[in-house]
Amino acid sequence: MSSLGKRRESDAMTLMMRDFIVELIDDRTDEFIVILRGPTGSPYKGGVWKLHVQLPDAYPYKPPSITFMNKIFHPNIHEHLGTICLNVIDKDWSPAYEFVKVFDIILPQLLLYPNPSHGLNEDAIFLLMTNKEEFEEKVKEYCVLYAKEEDIIGSSSRAEILDGDFSDSEDASSDDNSEDAVAGVLEL
């Protein structure tokens, strides 16, 4: 196994050892699902999301691709595609970064402190900027509808993971064809 393959395996195993729920796809360490819980102190508290992670062949020299599989109402996350707009991290990815920190620190911080000036969900941006209370209520509503722990953690069969949880959404590809939406996958 090459050193790049060992790094992918090591990073996946580190997530598992840190008590993250991780499901390897086809027993590979370059593509897997990670369960992320909403952070305390945010309207996302109590929500649970599946994130699809794909590590490219050149990882860690090339950034991972991470997308939300079930819906979330957030200015920096595309509601239908699950792509994440996080430009600072995208530009600053380094092989020296500890991958586990993406799930320990970076994504929870994104949920705690959304950035309405760089986003993928115009409705969430507008509500956050004009009526924070209504924004937080909408976030909580999405948590109940799309991110209940009993629905997400109990539904990690391979077929459901590959299909994603967007089955009730309209065709997202026609929803936003902007360059930001395409480049919005969290590429750390």
Report the distance separating Cα 119 and Cα 76, nearest Å.
Answer: 4
The alpha carbon torsion through 94, 100, 103, 104 (nearest 10 deg) reads -110
What six digits make up the tokens of 20?
């993250």
Provide the 3-class DSSP secondary structure of residue 32. strand
Nearby residues of 59 by Cβ (< 8 Å), 6 or more positions away: 4, 7, 8, 30
Locus of tokens 């620190």:
105
Beta bridge partners of 54: 31, 65
Nearby residues of 85 by Cβ (< 8 Å), 6 or more positions away: 76, 77, 78, 118, 119, 120, 180, 183, 184
The one catalytic residue among 35, 36, 85, 111: 85
User: Annotated catalytic, 143?
Assistant: no
Catalytic residues: 85
